[in-house]
Amino acid sequence: MCTLKLGRYFAFIFICFAIIHGIVAGSSYDIQPTLGCVPSIYVAVQYSAFFFYPILVGFLPIVIASSFSILAYHNVRHIVRRQLPIVRRKLDKQITAMVLMRVIIFVCLVLPYVTYRIYTVNFPTSRIMPMAYAISRLIQAIITSIYITNFVVNFYIFIIFSPRFRRQVKLVLGNI
């Protein structure tokens, strides 16, 4: 249903949207000595709390990733009925298992970050209360670290679920 030309148009539109969104959102933040970098306009606070973090960072990526993983799983279930070589079927099942695990881990790592960011946008902690501020920063560091592991976890999922990938890693590491 999608051609390469249409895909390029969509990519261009999404890149333009991301640039414009970043400029507008970045210009609505202000640096305050007691709170740090916070949205300075009431509309920006409402936007962050009710649209940006829940929808753009949380719900939309989770729904898209889950939908495509379910479609991949459904597609692999129907591969058994087609006349494909056994090796191809085995590789398709293997990649589907990796995609499903990737989506589950993605959801588990993104939800705490989104929840915490919505909370901190609505209830910022001031530096006037040092203990509460320190606890807030510690929780933020832990949750941000968990969120960042989302981008690293692919390698480990591939190592766990793919014997072929394990062989390739052993071959590469053996040569080094």
pLDDT digits (tens, 9 = 90+) for 67-80: 888 887 777 777 66
Percent of the chain beyond pLDDT 90?
22
With respect to residue 176, please indicate whether it lies within any of the assigned structural domains: no
With respect to residue 1, please indicate whether it lies within any of the assigned structural domains: no
With respect to residue 174, please indicate whether it lies within any of the assigned structural domains: no
**Residue of 61, 58, 59, 30 lying closest to 44 (CA atoms):** 30
Is there a contact between 29 and 44 (Cβ–Cβ < 8 Å)? yes
> Three-state DSSP class for 31?
strand
Domain region containing 120: 32-168
With respect to residue 94, please indicate whether it lies within any of the assigned structural domains: yes
Could you read off the pLDDT of 34-76 as tens digits, one per residue?
666 777 788 888 888 888 888 988 899 989 988 888 887 777 7
With respect to residue 25, please indicate whether it lies within any of the assigned structural domains: no
The residue to which tokens 């969104």 are assigned: 21
Number of domains in the chain: 1
With respect to residue 16, please indicate whether it lies within any of the assigned structural domains: no
With respect to residue 15, please indicate whether it lies within any of the assigned structural domains: no
With respect to residue 129, please indicate whether it lies within any of the assigned structural domains: yes
What whole-number distance in Å separates Cα of residue 139 and Cα of residue 145? 10
What whole-number distance in Å separates Cα of residue 114 and Cα of residue 41? 21
Residues sharing a CB contact under 8 Å with residue 118, sequence separation 6 or more, in sequence order: 48, 49, 53, 54
| 37, containing H or E segment | strand 36-39
Q: pTM above the 0.75 mark? A: no
